[in-house]
């Protein structure tokens, strides 16, 4: 450290006026192509600018923790954004920080930026580091819980019902974990034909949030998956923080497929439990609540069939007794009495009908005869029969007067029994008659 300070001091010593662009007081003007800055001067200015930042408290998650020569070289990642910064814990400071710090821990760090002029590198020196207090985490989670509740993400009306018998179950869990084995074993014991689509993801650490979100989205877009189970075994509060992350919660809320949260034990309560369509106390409980038991269902089907058989037998017995009661009544026991009782009425009605028809026919016959006599009396044929005739010219006109039949006119004379042709000789004189 003393050597670094001496190097910087030498670099900042005022130079005498000359061709290097310095002033009489040693101050350098703006860097130009004709008067460029020396590297030492640029480094000194960078160091001075960085020194003005002073010490800074930073919050993040340890994603790298390596020990070399008593010093720790690590990286600190932002809790939400994709941003990482390296840090160094010198051995003198390491003795003052908690000994149980490790990769994946959520911490707050007091650090100071230090620009090493000779090597041209920036180092974040850790002056203090501690775990984020449990009270702080709980307070943040409660604020996030209240915010999501205000948005309606925990509303019971949003929750989707689970299918009675899912054909394919999506499972998000750690690879070769106890949670995975518990879900698969218990589900297949209950219903051997059930299928699984397992997507492995980190369930703690800096990769957990991104991988869990990606797994939920992948299974949600699979048309064969009927329900998604997110499972993790037990762990301390900080190990389960990934399942209270806002990105995981919103991914579960946006899923179309029903989500089952099976995180930790009964006492654990990550935010994923509140937004999920079903909360299971353990991974084993999730398997039992998602998959029905084939033995229980077979027994239930047998009970229902028995109840249906008993009910049908009771209905058939009741209807049989009712039919027997109806058949025992006189109307159905001797149905011929209905015909016998109506036979006389039918005979009487038929006889009366015949009489009425005969009377009507006789009356109409008389009417026809009278009408015929009147018609014949008025008929031209009857007039012709009395000796009269009808004379017509060749054009069919009737000759009514002698003037209608000029001399040599061809005439047609119609009598009662036929027609006679004639030729007119002109009108006869009145004296001849």
pLDDT for 7: 35
DSSP line for 167-221: SEEEEEE-TT-HHHHHHHHHHHHH-TT-EEEEEE---SSTTHHHHHHHHHHHHHT
Contact residues for 158 (Cβ-Cβ < 8 A; gap 6+): 152, 253
Q: What is the per-residue pLDDT for 141?
A: 82
Outline which parts of the chain fall under CATH 2.40.50.140: 2-130
Q: Are 97 and 129 in contact (CB under 8 A)?
A: yes
- Residue ranges of the chain assigned to CATH 3.40.50.261: 137-155+166-292
- Give the pLDDT score at 201: 94
Q: Which of 416, 339, 351 is nearest to 385 (CA)?
A: 416
Tell me, what DSSP letter sits at residue 398? B
Please write the tens of the pLDDT for every residue from 123-162: 899 999 888 766 667 777 888 889 999 999 999 999 999 9
Please name which of 284, 265, 260, 293 lies closest in space to residue 181, comparing C-alpha atoms: 284
What is the tens place of the pLDDT at every residue in 107-126? 889 999 988 888 888 889 99
Summarize the confidence of residues 9-23 as an average pLDDT: 39
What pLDDT sits at residue 25? 41
Q: What is the pLDDT of residues 173-225, one digit of tens each?
A: 999 898 999 999 999 888 888 999 999 999 887 788 999 999 999 999 999 99
* H-only helix segments in 259-389: 271-275, 283-290, 294-327, 330-333, 336-378, 380-385
pLDDT for residue 13? 39
pTM over 0.75: no
Task: Summarize pLDDT for 353-408 with one digit per residue, the tens.
Answer: 999 999 999 999 999 998 888 887 777 777 777 777 888 888 888 888 888 788 88
Residue 428 DSSP SS3: coil
- Residues 185, 183: Cα–Cα separation, whole Å: 6
CATH class (in words) of the domain with range 137-155+166-292: alpha beta
Comparison of pLDDT for 382 and 47, the residue scoring more:
47
Domain 2-130, CATH among 3.90.550.10, 3.20.20.210, 3.30.2130.10, 2.40.50.140: 2.40.50.140
């Amino acid at each position: 450290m003393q050597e670094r300070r001496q190097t910087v001091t030498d670099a900042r010593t005022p130079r005498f006026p000359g061709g290097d662009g310095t002033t009489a007081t040693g101050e350098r003007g703006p860097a130009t192509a004709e008067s460029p800055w020396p590297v030492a001067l640029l480094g000194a200015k960078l160091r001075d600018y960085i020194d003005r930042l002073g010490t800074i408290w930073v919050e993040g998650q340890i994603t790298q923790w390596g020990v070399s020569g008593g010093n720790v070289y690590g990286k600190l990642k932002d809790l939400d954004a994709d941003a990482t910064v390296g840090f160094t814990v010198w051995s003198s400071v390491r003795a003052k920080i908690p000994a149980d710090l490790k990769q994946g821990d959520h911490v707050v760090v007091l650090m100071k930026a230090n620009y090493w002029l000779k090597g041209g590198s920036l180092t974040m020196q850790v002056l203090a580091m501690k775990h984020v207090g449990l009270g702080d985490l709980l307070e943040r989670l409660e604020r996030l819980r209240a915010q999501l509740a205000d948005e309606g993400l925990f509303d019971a009306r949003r929750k989707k019902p689970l299918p009675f018998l899912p054909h394919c179950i999506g499972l998000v869990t750690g690879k070769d974990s106890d949670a995975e084995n518990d879900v698969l074993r218990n589900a297949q014991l209950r219903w051997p034909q059930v299928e699984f689509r397992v997507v492995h993801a980190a369930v703690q650490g800096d990769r957990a949030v991104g991988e869990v979100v990606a797994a939920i989205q992948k299974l949600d877009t699979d048309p064969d998956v009927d329900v998604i189970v997110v499972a993790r075994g037990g762990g301390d509060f900080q190990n389960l923080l990934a399942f209270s992350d806002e990105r995981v919660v919103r991914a579960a809320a946006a899923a179309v497929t029903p989500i089952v949260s099976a995180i930790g034990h009964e006492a654990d309560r990550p935010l994923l439990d509140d937004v999920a369509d079903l909360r299971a106390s353990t991974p084993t409980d999730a398997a039992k609540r998602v998959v029905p038991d084939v033995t229980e269902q077979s027994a239930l089907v047998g009970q229902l069939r028995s109840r249906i058989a008993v009910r049908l037998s009771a209905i058939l017995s009741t209807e049989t007794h009712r039919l027997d009661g109806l058949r025992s009544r006189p109307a159905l026991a001797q149905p011929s009495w209905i015909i016998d009782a109506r036979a006389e009425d039918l005979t009487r009605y038929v006889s009366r009908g015949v009489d009425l028809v005969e009377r009507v026919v006789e009356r109409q016959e008389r009417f026809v005869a009278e009408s015929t006599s009147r018609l014949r009396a008025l008929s031209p044929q009857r007039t012709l029969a009395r000796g009269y005739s009808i004379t017509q010219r060749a054009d069919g006109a009737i000759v009514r007067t002698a003037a209608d039949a000029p001399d040599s006119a061809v005439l047609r004379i119609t009598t009662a029994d036929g027609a006679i042709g004639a030729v007119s000789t002109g009108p006869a004189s009145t004296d001849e008659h």
